[in-house]
Amino acid sequence: MPSAIPPPPPSLTTYLRSLEDTPLDKSITTLISLLKRRQIRSSRSCALATTKLLIAVVEAGSPDSSHNTWSSTSALITRIRQVGRKLISAQPKEIVIGNIVRRVLGVIREVADRDSETGNAADLSGSEISGPTSPVTGERSVLPMRLSEFSSRDVLSGRPGTADSIASSTFSAPMAGPPTQQQRPNLMNAPTGTSLFSILQHPQQNPSRSTSSPYATPPAGTQSPALRPSPTSKSTISNAEAGGESLDIKAEVLDGLAELLDELSVVDSQIAESALEHIHSGEVILTHGSSRTVQRFLLTAAGKKRKFTVFVAESYPNDHSATHDTLVNGAQPPVSPDDEGLGGEKGRWRGLTAAGVTVVLVPDMAVFALMPRVNKVLLSPHAVMANGSLLAAAGTEGICLAAKEHRVPVVVLAGVYKLSPVYPFDEEGMVEYGDPSKVVGFAEDGRFVDGVDIVNPLSDFVGAEGVGLYVTNLGGCAPSYLYRVVGDHYRGEDVDLGVEEAGSRV
């Protein structure tokens, strides 16, 4: 009888394949378990798994609906925040999980803003527009909201809504005597026709419209337009009344999340496009560990006939095996488009030595002695905080301190999805610790272990003063400018997700 084939070990690839056939609640529980056990641990793997799960949440629809739809964006935001809090609580040290949750919430809020703008435009097109400002009625006409709505022809003709008419209506308050200002004569012969300004100037010529505007100041003693029910017409019927709001919400949000997946798939390629701006022939570059982002960055420069030397710190004891394998055999790309989001290339990327780059593997203790010969330091962090500080593999802080002592610039390669809007208030609490047996073996040094406390940090916290430049998939920027990049990708109302992340307080 043939032996049963054991199932593959849990990983990102197996989890992504199981999303299509597994109920949503079970998929959420499975990802929480994988994060707690650190079976999914790299920044991009966590970002991709979180994005795929939130896409499944959007596709599943509201738990209260039997048609896989969403009644409103507020219900979808509440659901995403609930799932996001569970994922962040499962692994609070992985900052990128909270980043992805906030990006998804930002996409939903953008969809809600577009729907509200469309609804306002529909109400304006179907509502009844009032006449010009009159000292008798006390009403005020609708003014243009954009500069493009001001026409030079209207300004010269002195029509209501233009700069001259606004000034005249402002300073021509009702007085006891006759008004002293005269109307400005027309300087151009405007073509006859119906326009917004002609409607405002001659409301009596348009009997089909009344003289009340929902945006005008109501006369004293009347009800505010915001409290009056708006007239029902074809252009003012909301999407909910038309039965299409839930479908629009779902489709538009899924389109935005597809763009987020595309960003994760091409982030390394976009960062590598600026390699020639930072790597020059004859330079000596120091890097740390086996980052694929750094390797593609170096390979891009080497492919453009740049000859340089690379010192690689082995990152002992946690990542030295992966560093050796990367330098000897090249980085292992994914075997499917879903794995790590790198486009599904098969085989291995060729190593740096095969591309004509001189590579020297050095122990971590030799970094300070080699730093005077180094021209530039290239690093790839796990996460970047809003103030420019970063979390990276253990040993990065020592490299940055040595580079600062010898005035060597430090260039950090990080995708936008790694930028976090939170600030680190507890730096020590952000550091993750691993298996201490990798430092000292319990079997060989049992008596020594009994007398000391051994820690094995997996990450280091590096302050913003240790970084010279950040290179993202949107370009390079100084650490002091990161807050602007963060402000463009996150909404202020989503910074606090209701959970306390590791080392951060918002």
**Cβ pair 423, 385 in contact under 8 A:** yes
The residue with greater pLDDT, 123 or 418, is 418
Name the least confident of 285-294, 417-426, 436-445, 464-473. Answer: 436-445
DSSP 165: H
**φ and ψ at residue 475, rounded to 5 degrees:** 125, -175
**Cβ pair 430, 397 in contact under 8 A:** no
Number of H helices, E strands in the chain: 16, 10
Contacts of 450 (CB under 8 A, 6+ apart): none
Convert the pLDDT of each residue in 384-434 to its tens digit. 999 999 999 999 999 999 999 999 999 999 999 999 999 888 888 889 998
- How many residues are listed for the chain in this entry? 506
pTM, two decimal places: 0.71
* 43 pLDDT more than 80: yes
One DSSP character per residue, 22-62 reads S-HHHHHHHHHHHHHTTSS-SHHHHHHHHHHHHHHHHHH--
Q: Decide: helix, strand or coil at residue 116.
A: helix
* 244 pLDDT more than 70: no
Amino acid (1-letter code) at residue 295:
Q
Task: Report the 10 Å Cβ neighbour count for 182.
Answer: 7
The 475-477 sheet, strands edge to edge:
358-362, 309-313, 284-288, 376-379, 410-413, 469-472, 475-477
Rounded distance between C-alpha atoms, residue 340 and residue 46, angstroms: 9
Q: Which helix (H) or strand (E) holds 393?
A: strand 390-393
Q: Choose among 267, 346, 256: nearest CA to 43.
A: 267
* 166 pLDDT more than 60: no
Confidence class for position 367, pLDDT limits 50, 70, 90: very high
* Of 3-7, 94-98, 455-459, highest mean pLDDT: 94-98
Q: Decide: helix, strand or coil at residue 433.
A: strand
Name the least confident of 114-123, 228-237, 307-316. Answer: 228-237
Amino acid (1-letter code) at residue 237:
I
**How far is the first Cα of the chain from the last one, in angstroms, to the nearest whole number?**
60
pLDDT attached to residue 66: 64
**Cβ pair 56, 469 in contact under 8 A:** no
Q: Decide: helix, strand or coil at residue 145.
A: coil
The answer to whether domain 12-125+243-262 and domain 267-494 are alike in fold is no
Beta strands 390-393 and 383-384: pairing type?
antiparallel
3.40.50.10470, 1.10.260.40, 3.40.640.10, 3.20.20.140: which CATH number matches 267-494?
3.40.50.10470
Name the least confident of 56-70, 124-138, 341-355, 382-396. Answer: 124-138
Q: Choose among 490, 467, 426: nearest CA to 106.
A: 490
DSSP 358: E
pLDDT attached to residue 331: 64
**Cβ pair 291, 271 in contact under 8 A:** no
Task: For the chain, give every domain's residue range.
Answer: 12-125+243-262, 267-494
pLDDT attached to residue 270: 94
Task: Report the 10 Å Cβ neighbour count for 100.
Answer: 23
Amino acid (1-letter code) at residue 283:
E
Instruction: Tokens 């009625």: give the residue.
Output: 137
Q: Which helix (H) or strand (E) holds 311?
A: strand 309-313
Convert the pLDDT of each residue in 300-357 to its tens digit. 999 888 899 999 998 888 888 788 777 777 765 543 433 443 333 444 556 788 888 8
Rounded distance between C-alpha atoms, residue 334 and residue 446, angstroms: 40
Angstrom CA distances, 209 to 133, 206, 483, stand at 16, 6, 49
Alpha-carbon Rg for the chain in angstroms: 31
Average pLDDT over residues 61-72: 76
Confidence class for position 183, pLDDT limits 50, 70, 90: low
Q: Which two tokens stand for residue 299?
A: 């390979």
The 459-462 sheet, strands edge to edge:
383-384, 390-393, 459-462
Instruction: Tokens 């997946």: give the residue.
Output: 261
Contacts of 83 (CB under 8 A, 6+ apart): 28, 53, 54, 57, 101
Q: Choose among 371, 369, 382, 359: nearest CA to 409.
A: 371
Query: Would you say the C-alpha torsion 193, 199, 203, 206 has a positive or negative sign?
Result: positive
Q: Which helix (H) or strand (E) holds 102?
A: helix 95-126
**Which CATH fold would you assign to the domain 12-125+243-262?**
Four Helix Bundle (Hemerythrin (Met), subunit A) (1.20.120)
Rounded distance between C-alpha atoms, residue 34 and residue 32, angstroms: 6
Task: Report the 10 Å Cβ neighbour count for 317.
Answer: 17
Rounded distance between C-alpha atoms, residue 50 and residue 35, angstroms: 10
pLDDT attached to residue 291: 87
Convert the pLDDT of each residue in 481-500 to its tens digit. 998 999 999 998 999 887 65
